A and B are shown apart, each in its own frame.
Chain A
Amino acid sequence: MLQEFYLILSAIIFTIGTVGVLTRSNAIVIFMSIELMLNAVNLSIITFASFSNDPVGQVFVFFVMAVAAAEAAIGLAIVIALYRLKKTMFIDNLKLLRN
């Protein structure tokens, strides 16, 4: 019963993150929306791990957090490099790969 509530919450947060990625044009807000989606997935993994009484799922979430930290460092470095190149953070102005 309660497990479904956690999964519904996870789905709602994931949807909010997806909407953020698709609608916003600021690169940092898109990055934060991706963090929202990662956290929603973490929440559903922890839900299953906790309701099946297994610490292995939580170890997996630990690895996801470590990869998210690495992704944060690289993603923000890319944002800084793009800003230095094009003087903008808005992805509508970034059309380097078009044509």
Chain B
Amino acid sequence: MEYCLFTILAILAIASAALTITLKDTVKSALALVFHFFMLAGIYLTLSAQFLAIMQIIVYAGAIMVLVLFVIMLLSTGDENEALLRKSKLKQAFAFTISLAMIILIASYITLEFGIKPIVTDFNTLNGSVNAVGGELYTNFLFPFEAIGILLLSAIIGAVMLSKKKI
């Protein structure tokens, strides 16, 4: 079961990573990268790192890729925008299919792994659970955690300063 799931996820991850660097259209390339991040989140689940799988989807597939797509849209030229409008039906169908496939994949994995025959009864004892990672994060790694906050604040200020026209 685990080998089979890993093989499928690994093949899809490699294929979408290859698509990311080969596709000429930047928007399609970014969508392939979003798909790759979802596949990596599935691979993290097979490694029983649930917290990081969710973080992968929220931070990478959510925040960072939305930022990348926003910049692509902001910097694209006029003719590319027309091409986007023409093919928007196809793109919507593509996005819908991918989202549906992802939901089915994750739901079937959860059902097969935890629904029919629960392997682990107490999820808090797993080493990748929110409990375990959070316990380490807020005790032994409290200072790096606070330092990350300062780093993110300076990154926000730096991004605003860099992208302002006149400072």
Contact = CB atoms under 8 A, between A and B. Distances in A.
User: Are A and B subunits of one complex?
Assistant: yes
Interface of A: 2, 5-6, 9, 12-13, 16-17, 19-20, 23-24, 26, 28-29, 31-33, 35-36, 39, 42-43, 46-47, 49-50, 53-56, 58-59, 61-63, 65-74, 76-81, 83-84, 89
A77 B47 CA distance: 35
B162 A36 contact: no
A43 B41 CA distance: 10
A89 B133 contact: no
B144 interface: yes
B82 interface: no
Contacts of B60: 35, 39, 65, 68
Range class of the B interface residue count: 35 or more
B109 interface: no
B163 interface: yes
Contacts of A13: 13-14, 17
Nearest to B14: A12
Interface of B: 2-3, 6, 10, 13-14, 17-18, 20-21, 26, 29-30, 33, 36-37, 40, 43-44, 47-49, 51-52, 55-56, 59-60, 63-64, 67-68, 71-72, 74-75, 127-128, 132-133, 135-137, 140-141, 144, 148, 151-152, 154-156, 158-160, 162-163, 165
Nearest 8 CB-CB pairings of A with B: A20-B21, A70-B155, A77-B162, A77-B159, A50-B47, A55-B132, A73-B159, A77-B163
Contact of B162 (A62, A67, A81): A81
A6 B3 CA distance: 11
Contacts of A72: 63-64, 67-68
